[in-house]
Amino acid sequence: MTTPDHVVAQLDRVIDPCSEGVGRPMSIVALGLVDAAAVRIDGDAVRVSLTLTDPMCVFFRELSAAITDVLRAAGFRDVQVLPSTQLWTPMRMVVGPR
């Protein structure tokens, strides 16, 4: 059975475009843009609530597509990515081993 933690482990491969653009690539998990609490699984469907660093993030579509690709490759047929209503702060970042 796939759990939210398994989904988050898959999403740790998705690199945030802004961090990559400044030469310090970080995953969306390390940045705190997504965690297990933001994942809902129903059979082969998954919904991910993505916390954005800016409500007007121009990379939402790109991030959504990357998340969808990774999760479809993991076996989910229906992937839905929605922007979270939470505001991102640096306190959400994951420091150290995950």
In terms of pLDDT, which residue wins out, 96 or 29? 29
Is 87 a residue whose pLDDT tops 60? yes
Architecture of the 4-83 domain: 2-Layer Sandwich (3.30)
Secondary structure of the chain in HEC code, one letter for each residue: CCCHHHHHHHHCCCECHHHHHCCCCCECCCCCCCCHHHEEEECCEEEEEECCCCCCCCCHHHHHHHHHHHHHHCCCCEEEEEECCCCCCHHHCCCCCC
**pTM for the full predicted model:** 0.92
Domain ranges within the chain, ordered by starting residue: 4-83
At 16-70, the pLDDT tens digits run 999 999 999 999 999 999 999 999 999 999 999 999 998 888 999 999 999 999 9
